[in-house]
């Protein structure tokens, strides 16, 4: 069966910085990857665009959509945006039900999203909470339901900008060395946040160093860090050599 990956970000470009490597690896192995942005980040994530004279919200949204779509195409993923608005991002019942329906339609094996805490970004925790609630609704909260349900997806949090202040404790380091150039190309598409490109390039190198020390594998040059928050259900304890843990 084809694996399905769903990455849910608060803003249009969140997936590029934090999970582009994971997406590219998944699609390279034949998985289907979908990127969902709950907003375009037109208010709080598009500072470069607002420097242009006569700029408008609709134009910013259009540019952000085009940038994110190009980045997703480089990674082999589909990009979708709910356009719910940002700063603040608010999730009402209709938006929550829309998200749950989207999860049912995609039927992901894995969901990647934000951490539950971020003292510097008001939209990231809102997204995490919405994803977790929608996941439960889409999977029937673990019991038989009157609604169509999906198998409960495994959930990972991608690395926030300041992990030590967000309660982020990485327990998975993903070797993205084979697709590192794709991540660089994807990041280059987000001209509205050029200042983040250098930061996340350095982070991939630093996490690569951590992954080498943990695994002893000298071939790992670049990595992305994740925190798995749904427990693994296994029939044996996997070693470093086993790249996928069965559920």
The CA distances from residue 218 to 171, 188, 212, 221, 224, in Å, are 19, 28, 6, 8, 16
Predicted confidence at residue 142, as pLDDT, reads 54
Q: What is the CA radius of gyration of the chain?
A: 18
Provide, rounded to the nearest whole percent, the portion of the chain with pLDDT above 90: 87
Nearest to 69 by CA among 61, 59, 84, 79: 79
Q: For position 238, what pLDDT does the model report? A: 82
d(CA 171, CA 162): 16
The pLDDT, as a whole number, for residue 246 is 37
Q: Residues in the chain with pLDDT < 50? A: 244-247
Domain ranges of the chain: 4-228
Instruction: Write out pLDDT tens, residues 104-151.
Output: 999 999 999 999 999 999 999 999 999 999 999 999 865 666 778 899
- The pLDDT of residue 245: 38
CATH fold, domain 4-228, is Rossmann fold (3.40.50)
Q: Please state the pTM of the whole predicted model.
A: 0.94
């Amino acid at each position: 069966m084809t694996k399905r990956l769903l990455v849910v970000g608060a803003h249009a470009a969140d997936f590029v910085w934090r999970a582009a490597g994971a997406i590219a690896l998944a699609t390279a192995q034949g998985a289907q990857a979908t990127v969902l942005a709950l907003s375009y980040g037109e208010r709080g994530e598009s500072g470069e665009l607002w420097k242009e004279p006569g700029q408008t919200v609709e134009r910013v949204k259009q540019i952000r959509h085009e940038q994110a779509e190009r980045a997703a195409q480089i990674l082999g993923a589909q990009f979708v945006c709910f356009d719910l608005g940002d700063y603040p991002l608010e999730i009402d019942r209709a938006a929550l039900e829309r998200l749950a329906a989207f999860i049912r339609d995609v039927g992901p094996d894995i969901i990647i999203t934000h951490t539950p805490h971020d003292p510097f970004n008001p939209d990231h925790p809102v997204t995490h909470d919405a994803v977790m609630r929608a996941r439960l609704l889409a999977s029937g909260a673990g019991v038989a339901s009157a609604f169509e349900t999906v198998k409960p997806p495994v959930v990972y949090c991608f690395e926030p900008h300041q992990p030590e202040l967000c309660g982020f404790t990485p327990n998975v380091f993903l070797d993205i060395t084979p697709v590192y150039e794709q991540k660089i190309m994807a990041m280059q598409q987000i001209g509205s946040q050029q200042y983040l490109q250098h930061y996340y390039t350095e982070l991939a190198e630093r996490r690569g160093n951590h992954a080498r020390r943990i695994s002893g594998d000298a071939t790992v040059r670049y990595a992305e860090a994740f925190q798995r928050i749904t427990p693994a259900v296994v029939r044996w304890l996997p070693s470093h050599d086993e790249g996928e843990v069965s559920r």
